[in-house]
Chain A
Amino acid sequence: MSDIQPMLIDTATKIMKDICTKDLISNAEEGEFPQELWEALKETGMTSIGVSEESGGVGGDIKDAMSLLKVAGKFTAPIPLAETLLANWILGVARLPLKNSPLTLIPALKKDRITFKKVEDGWVVSGKAQYIPWARDVQDMVVFGKTSDGQQVVTTLSTTDCQINRGQNLAGEPRDEVHVPENLIENDRVAIVQNLTYEDICNRGALTRIALMAGALENALELTLTYANERTQFGRPIGKFQAVKQQLAVLTGEVMASGIAADSAVAAYENSGQNEEIAMAKIQVGEATKAVTNIAHQVHGAMGFTDEHPLHYSTRRLWSWQDEYGTDSEWADLLGDKILEEKSDVWSMFTESPRQLT
């Protein structure tokens, strides 16, 4: 844990607790961007945590960034914090100027067709990308892509130059389609990067979802325990029923497992830069999502299934984030393939990666 982490978590918790109310989340789903929440985080420098000071960030490491996202996930903050942190990190690596406003990221997945062409006085960027978080709410998008000769490039695009078709995920978070008409971009806004790959971005992206989900899982646990204590049926709290208790214990176990899996994945990634632990943690939070959302809704009864009760703000996000930056199955296939292809004994994979004592 870094020196600033406890203070960071404290401050973020205070801000979220005060501002991130049920009304605010509900209004955000109706399309109202929670500017006040964003400003409060921006003022404390939280939108560029994890980007070194020499790159223009406020410093802190990836652990700090992920612990902040855990808090955001817990309070279901309806802002592009994960995207902004990712995008600013990429800008930092590419040595392009950071932005102090909300950002999103076009990671140029295979199915996205964003092309970069070098011309005499700059670059021509064009194409289409789908499922881009918060594109409608940001001024700038960071685009990572490849040129036809395989060079990796990073640039920022202004959303005013693009056409945006609105879309959303299960949680009502913006996931828009972005059309980039042929745009000429000056040379100094484009960077060729050697030390950043698509895989790096996926890894970091998956880490953001792991952290958000670990936070959301905690919230589902707390809501469910409270409800089980308060809700009375047949003359006693429902949590007094053995059958319910057994379910609560399963839920608790999955949440605890996810918490340590998330922390361990971040630590391992920081130490080794490899992605096995990210795969394993993403699978863990995905499996936990299945168990926890089932049990949380079952215990809450019909009440938890209504718009009125806040449980769904967490569960709908869990169902959405579970499939972002690689579904459980995609990560499991990748990991299983590695284990079977390399005839690697799982045990060696766990025990031979270089580790340091924290």
Chain B
Amino acid sequence: MLKELELPIVDLPKETESLREDVRSFLSAELQNGSFETRCDSWLSGFSADFSRKLGERGWLGMTWPKKYGGHERTAFERFVVTEELLAAGAPVAAHWFADRQTGPLLLNYGTAYQRQTFLPKITRGELFFAIGLSEPNSGSDLASISTRAKKSGGQWVINGSKIWSSGAHHAHYIVVLLRTSSQGEKKHEGLSQMIVDLSASGVTVRPIYLMTGEHHFNEVIFEDVEISEDMIVGEVGNGWKQSMAELAYERSGPERFLSTYPLLSELINLLSETSSSDHAKNKIGKLASRLWTLRCMSLGVAGMLDKGESPDIAASLVKDLGTQFEKDVIDVARELIPSRPSMHAETKYETLLAEAILHAPGFTLRGGTTEILRSIITKGVGYNE
């Protein structure tokens, strides 16, 4: 096999079993007391500051981070187990999602001691939320073309420009912004840096962008002469591209890339189990299960490589590409097997989940890199000469 395509088999260590049981009993208690309702795509749409705080209390945020920053020094696999259980249950994890998945690891890799001490403990307690500022209105997948810039003025940096698709920026406290700190050199990737911006700072405007469901998760964040102190620069000035790309490997291969519609699949199986199902239904469910299992093996394999400090860009891109296709396949099979009238305000759980899944699905293959961009990365990576 081509070396780039070899993934290790990861069998989860024994100690994750009791952790999984803990998460399951927590979730079933929370469901019972009505603290949340199962939703599709809950990592985008399930915002609950309370729920995130409860996860923080249990030590399920910043799980792998050092204890001195409020982390719990647990393994990547323990984090994987908690994450997949939360997503499979459709739990509201959007509040802490980006801080836990991206900002924390970013600061641990590149942040200053001051930044780590200031932000990480609060993130692990579920008290501090971050948004991500990568895309711009005129730069979708072509991130190297971004034009938001920061200019040095005295001891400060002054930011002007705007970011788009920043999920949860209307709830979050801070945003990590990729911006230009010097003019574009020969290479488009040069001259980029990352900075942490307080979303309540003067000159920052968060403008809602509503989804076709009417829900508000996305935002445009506009910066007008926003002043940033030197200590809010993440990593090296000029190293922003490399730092952001490392972030994306974490972003592309996690269980959120194939579990967005799992709550729908689970409810579909519940309903089919109640009646005697056709062979056709069994066949479709068997095939979906096979795909989901394969994706989980792949995602675990990538987690294993990340844990060892390897950077499996191609494998991560493949997990996302296949995973997001699967998330959509679940919808097609559901619609095929059970005739229904999906609506965001339906009376049955199944119809509501189906509506959420259908209306959120167009985003699955866009966020975190479009299918087309991912496929370019894949062919380049397996030795197709450009």
Contacts and interface: CB of A to CB of B under 8 A. Distances in A.
A346 B273 contact: no
B368 interface: no
B31 interface: no
Place the interface of chain A in its size category: 35 or more
B184 to A, nearest CB: 25
Contacts of A260: 7, 9, 294, 297-298, 301
Contact of A333 (B11, B262, B286): B286
Contacts of B290: 279-281, 283-284, 287, 332, 335
A288 B379 CA distance: 17
Contact of A347 (B266, B286, B321): B266
Nearest to B277: A340
Interface in B36-84: none
Interface string A20-32: 0000000000000
Interface stretch (B12-20, B216-224, B231-239): B12-20
Contacts of B322: 253, 257
A249 B374 contact: yes
Nearest to B315: A256
B281 A340 contact: yes
A261 B293 CA distance: 8
A225 B383 contact: yes
A245 interface: yes
A252 B383 CA distance: 11
Contacts of A351: 20
Interface in A234-254: 237, 239-240, 242, 245-246, 248-250, 252-253
Nearest to B285: A336
Interface in A327-348: 328-329, 331-337, 339-341, 343, 345-347
SS of B interface (majority) = helix
Given A259-B7, A346-B289, A253 B378 contact: yes
B272 A335 contact: no
A222 B2 contact: yes
Nearest to A341: B273
B318 A336 contact: no
Interface in B274-326: 277, 279, 281-298, 301, 315, 318, 321-322
Contact of A339 (B20, B269, B297, B383): B269
A206 interface: no
A349 interface: yes
B375 interface: yes
B384 A347 contact: no
Interface string A263-289: 110010001000001011101100100
Nearest to A218: B1
B289 A335 contact: yes
Contacts of A248: 375, 378-379, 382, 384
Nearest to A245: B379
Contacts of A331: 286
A158 interface: no
A340 B11 contact: no
Contacts of A259: 1, 5-7
Nearest to A339: B285
Interface string B323-366: 00000000000000000000000000000000000000000000
A23 to B, nearest CB: 26
Interface residues of B, number: 55
Most chain B beta-carbon contacts within 10 A, residue among A222, A260, A267, A358: A260
A355 interface: yes
A157 interface: no
A333 B279 contact: yes
Nearest to B376: A245
Interface string A86-118: 000000000000000000000000000000000
A221 interface: yes
Contact of B321 (A249, A271, A334): A249
A287 B385 contact: no
Contacts of A2: none
B150 interface: no
Nearest to A259: B1
Interface string A164-200: 0000000000000000000000000000000000000
A340 B274 CA distance: 8
B283 A284 contact: no
A143 to B, nearest CB: 31
Contacts of A245: 375-376, 379, 384
Given A256-B298, A340-B273, A356 B291 contact: no
A44 interface: no
A65 interface: no
Contacts of B379: 239, 245, 248-249, 252
A252 B382 contact: yes
A267 B273 contact: no
Contact of B286 (A218, A237, A271, A335): A335
A71 to B, nearest CB: 11
A261 B285 contact: no
B378 A249 contact: yes
Contact of A355 (B6, B12, B386): B12
A249 B88 CA distance: 28
A255 interface: yes
A345 B285 contact: no
30 contacts: A228-B384, A229-B384, A237-B385, A248-B379, A249-B376, A252-B318, A260-B301, A264-B297, A267-B9, A267-B11, A271-B11, A280-B289, A284-B294, A329-B283, A332-B282, A334-B286, A335-B286, A336-B277, A336-B284, A337-B282, A339-B269, A339-B282, A340-B281, A341-B273, A346-B288, A346-B292, A350-B293, A351-B20, A355-B12, A356-B11
Closest 4 interchain pairs by CB? Answer: A336-B282, A332-B286, A249-B375, A336-B286
Given A248-B379, A260-B9, 11 more contacts: A229-B385, A248-B375, A249-B321, A261-B294, A264-B293, A277-B293, A339-B285, A339-B289, A349-B289, A356-B14, A357-B11
Interface of B: 1-2, 5-7, 9, 11-14, 20, 88, 262, 265-266, 269-270, 272-273, 277, 279, 281-298, 301, 315, 318, 321-322, 372, 374-376, 378-379, 382-386
